[in-house]
Chain A
Amino acid sequence: GENVGLHLPTLSVQEGDNSIINCAYSNSASDYFIWYKQESGKGPQFIIDIRSNMDKRQGQRVTVLLNKTVKHLSLQIAATQPGDSAVYFCAENIPGENTGFQKLVFGTGTRLLVSP
């Protein structure tokens, strides 16, 4: 498989547990945030997003929390399953750069390992 996770922090959980993955973002002007899931040998896959005017957003088994005060984002996965094992990373959108088009800045990610 790909070695993109070679130097990543790792979160190990048991199947059925809830998982929390954290991300510190860099720019206080960022107005939009995305969580991606990257399985071995595959490209990043969109999971959930949140705008800066919100502090919580829920999807199917996933919740994203945004704390703009400390520039922190978290992804909560309920009832984690072995199929959730992957690298998860956040991205922030910095408005106003690059001739007005949005610019995404990606985090380095966390590896989630789910044991049956």
Chain B
Amino acid sequence: DAGVIQSPRHEVTEMGQEVTLRCKPISGHDYLFWYRQTMMRGLELLIYFNNNVPIDDSGMPEDRFSAKMPNASFSTLKIQPSEPRDSAVYFCASSLRGLGNSPLHFGNGTRLTVT
């Protein structure tokens, strides 16, 4: 079975530009998560969805960040406008029935560089 698929793998953009990261979860998984990894802050949860509905977005750093899940097989994380401090690796992950019942499976990540 295909794992979590993220695109693009690398993104380089200039400050002020809009950035959209994409994710396709594992088919049948009810939960989708967006994580960010930086040297300073490690791995931190940004937002997660259950059955396409955002459940906890308390980790979203600012209004510049937004996430959507229009259907069970697709989610986006958008940053508008982007800033150099947004440079990080962004991971999408999915879980079959939530972490109390099943593990988190991660995609390969998108490395974002904002210059």
A binds B: no
- Give chain B's interface residues, CB within 8 Å of chain A: none
